[in-house]
Structure 1
């Protein structure tokens, strides 16, 4: 499966490369054969009303030339140089740089294979001299004094950064601030005269189907303009906790990283960051950070060089329909709490594992949006959370804290009692056992781990379908703690007695805690 990748590239020699773009919208008149007019159709009762669009559609522009000419001077190339020492992992480079040289595929045992192998070993050996790696990306000027925005992965680890303007003026740049979580960076260049700059637009008002322009430095080809539309909004591509990307089919390639996505008014509504591609080139699926998210981050980086985010200290997941059925919720929406940080704001507000946060200050939310909404909330502000807890709606007031640099997980509580025995739940497709010394050693469990351990999973059962594996630990069932396999069987039987269609398990593994809904079937005892 192809995954989204940063739109970055190291420069290469391009010989005889020609690119063309043709957009046309020509009308056509079709000749119709002469025919006798049919008799009028009888009137239809209760005809369906005509569909009304929310706003008049915009036609295809005759040309993007005037808009591009106005915007190009504010888009820059960002070039970086990094010193790579022997033994450094070049694969860590996200950026628009040369990949490490690869040994050609010579026939096994041939002299050429040995020659290149020895050469590469010498180049990358511990005694080799440090190498200089260069990378290219894109950026854009947001202030005439020389403030440039780009992606963090373009300039990360760079020893030297230069910015090249549209007129080929080369300026040295320094980093004012960068943010790993949103992949944004702000640079400053010194210039004796004001530079052309562009303004941010409101990405919240951009609609799917609106025309957009992408300008940048793909494959080192400076000043490249491509056109397309907004293909989707609110994309989560698993690149970070605050994913909310604009998707566009405007061609974006490696080297476009950090370049702007413009609307038809010439305002920046996105910052091009990643593409989805099996080959590394554009297939019409690009992702941009919305300006509504980026503006606040960029402002903080300009002022303080870092970003302060709100945080309440919970680990959450989306509420699926299976989870909603297990909790007795009618609608599948909200953020299900899978963990509460000890001494965090949520713990102080008495939020619990298994609570479903459904509203934030009266507005409905889903699990994916909660981290971003909390991050955008100023530390110290009090928010009202609407929570579903054990079949009842309650309200919790939480004083938002500042996101720690490296939040630590709460230590696992010690078990109340030592469990004995094992239980096979064929209706769920798994077998669980007690957490004893043998289980801790076999499954590498920490001392004091609470719950019951999954010892085997049927390949054709509900547990396997939901990703459970031997070694996973079940700590709660239907928001009730389990200490022994017998506790698990009792809670499953209680759910069946209530004619529930599914049951919720709180499962812990190397990735942390998550709620897993399993369909209930007759349990062979």
Structure 2
């Protein structure tokens, strides 16, 4: 009997599925204690805007015949509604959180306080304080506010490390959805590094913790009570949460907030290049083992690297020790770097990896500067026009410049016609563009284009890498199949 019992037990154990290699953990039993300790630091942001008469959404009083029996009625109605050229006040609501109790510093979204004439912070105990704007950044949608800390004892929260957060980790959002007041929601990190095309530095944390209208500017906490994100945007056909919300990661926010507090504005690093993605075709044309990095498509005239240290056709792989895995990584890394800093940049140039040193300028000083400018090519050529790779090309003479409006500083070989359905047409090449380089060598005549393509074919290349210039000098790279 004993032997049978043991055998039966052993058989039952064998019949059970093997335990997974990782421990199964349920969600937190409760976040009540955590939320209780954080609610005081989260505020509701109330703003008001004075709008003068005649706004686009104002309804004018109808014109009535003199002496009409309805005249008194309509005059009273529109006077009460703020019509009849009376100024009106428009209010909006959002969220924010205190990060410095001694200085009275509050963080929120820029779009929460944009165009506001008055800003007020409403605390969980019902008290209210007037807030003033310290600084704002439209590119990351962050604003820094300040209240008088002598009027109320404040409680602050601190930023955590958003890089340490993992997909599937529990997070908690506190905010002011639909103007209801302090509301706590819990969910997980659904994804990281989301690009929702809202700005040049998109790198959002995606969460399914309920975020609704009015949550904007509120904090996203980890389970240690640290702020790892600023709730900013949602995807919602209905206007309510469908479990897709986005938060600015603390890694990106902290540097912006520090600059806004110190200077009242951002001071981002600036490299002064135009970039485009490295596709598989481009990587093959450049002899790279895989598609990675950011391809320099143009250099800003008068910018930090307008001294030849970087050239169109360079592929940036690392910047100041940080990897550039894809094109959109580079703007964020450069922007986070101090103005005036000399950094090492790892590039691939003409198939060889090398390190160059660049000194960063300030982005805000160079945003209005014109980009581009192609290198000068050699004069001469054996043919005036030619047909190659689905394009009709010709000399860039005065007649061609006048025909297509090409600026004097642009040099190369003009494309006068593109064959419909050709590989060139499929890549969006258009008449009036100028071929400035092929396989990173300058061309200035149709004959040089023919010779360069013939040489590439002799080398066994299947793609030709073309650098094209617009009529105003903006550069881009395109690869064309030669078979």
Q: TM-score, length-normalised on structure 2? A: 0.80
Residues 1:178 and 2:145 are matched in the alignment: no
Residue pairs, 1:166-245, within 5 angstroms = 166-191=124-149, 192-245=151-204
Residues 1:69 and 2:39 are matched in the alignment: no
Is contact 2:375-2:436 (8 Å) kept?
A: no
Is contact 2:176-2:182 (8 Å) kept?
A: yes
**How far 1:262 moved relative to its partner?**
0.8
Out of 398, 403, 408, the residue aligned to residue 363 of structure 2 is 403
**How far 1:66 moved relative to its partner?**
2.6
SS in 1 for 2:163: helix
Give the Cα separation in 1 of the matches to 2:240 and 2:469: 39
Is contact 1:316-1:335 (8 Å) kept?
A: yes
- Give the equivalent residue in structure 2 for 1:112: none
- Give the equivalent residue in structure 2 for 1:296: 255
Change (3 A) 1:504 1:141: same
- Give the equivalent residue in structure 2 for 1:260: 219
- Give the equivalent residue in structure 2 for 1:269: 228
Give the Cα separation in 1 of the matches to 2:295 and 2:165: 30
- Give the equivalent residue in structure 1 for 2:69: none
Give the Cα separation in 2 of the matches to 1:211 and 1:306: 33
User: Which ranges of structure 1 fall in alignment gaps of 5 or more residues?
Assistant: 1-33, 42-48, 91-99, 103-122
Residue pairs, 1:105-504, within 5 angstroms = 131-145=88-102, 146-191=104-149, 192-348=151-307, 350-366=309-325, 367-405=327-365, 406-410=367-371, 412=373, 422-425=385-388, 427=389, 429-432=390-393, 435=396, 443-457=404-418, 460-504=421-465
Structure with bigger gyration radius: 2
Give the Cα separation in 2 of the matches to 1:512 and 1:136: 46
Give the Cα separation in 2 of the matches to 1:85 and 1:430: 58
SS in 1 for 2:282: helix
**How far 1:84 moved relative to its partner?**
4.2
User: Which ranges of structure 2 fall in alignment gaps of 5 or more residues?
Assistant: 1-7, 60-80
Change (3 A) 1:86 1:323: farther
SS in 1 for 2:252: helix
Give the Cα separation in 2 of the matches to 1:510 and 1:215: 52
Give the Cα separation in 2 of the matches to 1:87 and 1:363: 53
Give the Cα separation in 1 of the matches to 2:245 and 2:128: 29
- Give the equivalent residue in structure 2 for 1:19: none
Give the Cα separation in 2 of the matches to 1:162 and 1:470: 56
Change (3 A) 1:431 1:156: farther
SS in 2 for 1:251: coil
**How far 1:346 moved relative to its partner?**
2.1
Change (3 A) 1:463 1:249: farther
SS in 2 for 1:345: coil
**How far 1:412 moved relative to its partner?**
3.9
Give the Cα separation in 2 of the matches to 1:465 and 1:251: 43
Is contact 2:49-2:116 (8 Å) kept?
A: yes
Give the Cα separation in 2 of the matches to 1:327 and 1:246: 34
Give the Cα separation in 2 of the matches to 1:285 and 1:258: 16
Is contact 2:207-2:243 (8 Å) kept?
A: yes
Give the Cα separation in 2 of the matches to 1:276 and 1:444: 43
**How far 1:520 moved relative to its partner?**
0.9
Give the Cα separation in 2 of the matches to 1:286 and 1:514: 37
Is contact 1:349-1:396 (8 Å) kept?
A: no
**How far 1:471 moved relative to its partner?**
4.5
**How far 1:210 moved relative to its partner?**
0.5
Give the Cα separation in 2 of the matches to 1:87 and 1:343: 45
Is contact 2:373-2:474 (8 Å) kept?
A: no
Q: Deviations over 1:295-348 (max 9, x none)?
A: 121122122212222222222223222211111101221221111223433234
Give the Cα separation in 2 of the matches to 1:280 and 1:453: 51
Give the Cα separation in 1 of the matches to 2:24 and 2:418: 54
Give the Cα separation in 1 of the matches to 2:21 and 2:46: 49
Change (3 A) 1:87 1:452: farther
